Chains A and B, each alone.
Chain A
């Protein structure tokens, strides 16, 4: 283990300019990515704290830890922070920002200053949301259903909505930047079908961000107008329709879940390939599946409204299309699994997270098929079954992918290796803790435990205790990487340019990379996952 010795440090993006101003006014996509990493880690900690309080309250049937008002604020704020300030930006704004330009051989994104603006917008939105929480909180649920949110709640609805509105523009601009970059800034020889699948995934995500987010922006404007001016758009007493809100809200919020999971799938494609040393099986199909998910994802929002009073026939259409959108995800899972066939498989930490993703996303996705079935959904909608379903795909899926990508690219971004033993242990703890937290919730939901309940009937306690126990383990699992990653910045083994023997242009630069990414813009002559191009001495490192 080679700790830092007095070695002349090469110029890289981290040491190229010191001081707050060089960071806060940077145009470098890599520095912006680091800013995002810090920011969303803070939001994750806040959202996670709310989750811990929720699980602590649910240890016992009566509502005895916090008051009802407080509990309602806790689950609302947990949802708002996790969805809008953690999951939506997570992988695109960190790893997408850092690596998308490098992977296609570009020097930066198309619009670096817009990229910096995106970060400031997330900060501004986050400050508004956190201000709302400190000033007294918001208790409408992250879904803001009317007329409760517009007429009855007397909490900080507008401030929170404004925070989400501003953060939405952060997301739109990131998506816009990625789309233009992929279209116009690929290096010579980098055709569409030579791009890494991570780029395809972030491209498809950008399409959703750009088309979907404006709709929730205007919906929040209407909520604001209703709340302040009582225009009656969602108020039945004035001729309005509260269910119109649900349609407008879910028109964005369903595609939003694909914003949250598609980049994760992109990471998995990279990990499975590198740690099997094989091209992803069915590359073209996986690439097209990303775009298919983005497109079809816009057509299924009504599956959140099956019991809302929506027409029977609308329900049929949305249920059918919801099955349709599942197929591209299934195609990806089969192709990733097939990539392992006749591969050369290594069990480094990123690969463990990739395996975890495939397993847990499969379960989460399969339970999506349960709720897409009309007759079944009538029973389980608005229960813990749905909570379990989306946590399986968002935490068991996206967050696993985020952790996998973080470990994978850590040496490239920081020039240091994380400690492999501790990392593997954490991955295992997270996997076990996660399943203990959320699997009991499927059962809880089917036996009838509704969502957003502060107190519950006695007989549900055993399952809740199991879930809270799991959550404690899961929290420990997340704390460990926080510690060892920070430790590694100072004491971690110095990383080489390509510790994993991976393909991809980002591995052809030093670790950490220089500000301008490439000394010379590469000319690409081979496909994305061609391991014959990896030098022997890189492979001999043996990870």
Chain B
């Protein structure tokens, strides 16, 4: 293994190719200007080398036009770099609606991943190819960063909030996963593998896992932690009903509103007094310290399941999804 000399990462996601194309443009512009400057210096240095000790060259004055030209043209070239990079970035930051969601909890010094079907992984991520995968990530302690070089994706994983990263793997294979934000002693040990698999193989792998989806785990927690005592499905309890909440806009005490996304659900569990639903008292107990981040994402999946899926969403089974792009 030590004798292989990698000079280029693999192109294993839909975005890899695009980033590489941008790289080629950047390299082309850079090589051009590098050669131009090196060449000019070499040429002038030789041609105008000092021939007599007492020679004084005539002064050469610049012109406004020249300075403008060699400012504007490079600026134009950089605006292409800006626009192209921004375009890739926009798409990298907006996971497709039909993405398969996987939860990631980072901690010093390991990656804990949970598939909604219930499979849990440590430092490994099995995914099907040709399917957008959205990672919903948080950290239990310090800032980490989920980096898969062959996918060209990276996202800092921050404690106290959710960040998302998405990719669509195109080639089956085994790809490095690195933590890319220094996080303490074993930062360089916080590594693993992403296994991109043919959809059939992924189904097989999925089926081999423990029984019990995240929704089921979340439902159990909902019972065990007595959430069900206040959050009656018909709204008759001391707390609001959670049916249909996820994805809706919630009205708060004090007049504001909030979109009920993963972050809102998490905050409502860990620090309920921060945003109280209009018409209710701030009586909900604080669960910070009583539940782990992994418990929280299971509860989130359960709450999500109480919202019927939108019509025309693709079915959960992976095998029938057509390869895209």
Chain A contacts to B: CB under 8 angstroms: 61, 63, 68-69, 72, 139-141, 145, 147-148, 151-153, 236-237, 241-243, 276-279, 281-282, 285, 306-309, 312, 315-316, 319-320, 323-324, 326-327, 330-331, 333-335, 337-338, 340-347, 355, 358-359, 362-363, 366-367, 369-370, 372-379, 381-383, 443, 446-448, 450-463, 531-532, 534, 536, 539-542
The residues of B that contact A370 with a CB separation of less than 8 Å are 23, 26, 30
Contact with A along B143-170 (1 / 0, CB 8 A): 1010101101111101111010000000
By secondary structure, the A interface counts as helix
4 more contacts with CB within 8 A, not counting A345-B50, A363-B34, are A343-B44, A345-B44, A462-B3, A541-B53
Contact with A along B178-220 (1 / 0, CB 8 A): 1111111111110100000000000000000000000000000
Tell me, yes or no, whether B233 is within 8 Å of chain A by CB: no
Q: A344-B57, A383-B180, A462-B5 are in contact. Are A376 and B22 (CB under 8 A)?
A: yes
Q: A278-B59, A459-B1, A459-B5 are in contact. Are A319 and B82 (CB under 8 A)?
A: yes
For the complex, what is the distance from the CA of A342 to the CA of B55, rounded to whole Å?
11
Q: A279-B59, A451-B180 are in contact. Are A373 and B81 (CB under 8 A)?
A: yes
For the complex, what is the distance from the CA of A77 to the CA of B44, rounded to whole Å?
42
Contact B62 A282 (CB under 8 A): yes
Contact A68 B188 (CB under 8 A): yes
For the complex, what is the distance from the CA of A453 to the CA of B186, rounded to whole Å?
9
The residues of B that contact A337 with a CB separation of less than 8 Å are 37, 40-41, 44
Chain A binder among B88-96, B115-123, B250-258: B88-96
Contact A341 B60 (CB under 8 A): yes
Q: Please give the distance in Å from B64's CB to the nearest CB on chain A.
A: 9
Contact B57 A276 (CB under 8 A): yes
Contact A331 B84 (CB under 8 A): no
Contact A375 B4 (CB under 8 A): no
Picked from A347, A369, A540, the residue with its CB within 8 Å of the CB of B26 is A369
Closest B-chain residue to A241, C-beta based? B160
Q: How many residues of B contact A (CB 8 A)?
A: 89
Chain B contacts to A: CB under 8 angstroms: 1-9, 15, 18-19, 22-23, 26, 29-30, 33-34, 37-38, 40-41, 44-45, 48-51, 53-60, 62, 67, 70-71, 74-75, 78-79, 81-82, 84-90, 92-93, 108, 141-143, 145, 147, 149-150, 152-156, 158-161, 163, 176, 178-189, 191, 288
Q: A307-B156, A330-B74 are in contact. Are A459 and B6 (CB under 8 A)?
A: yes
The residues of B that contact A369 with a CB separation of less than 8 Å are 26, 29-30, 78, 81
Q: Please give the distance in Å from B242's CB to the nearest CB on chain A.
A: 24
Q: Please give the distance in Å from B218's CB to the nearest CB on chain A.
A: 23
Picked from B78, B142, B176, the residue with its CB within 8 Å of the CB of A323 is B78
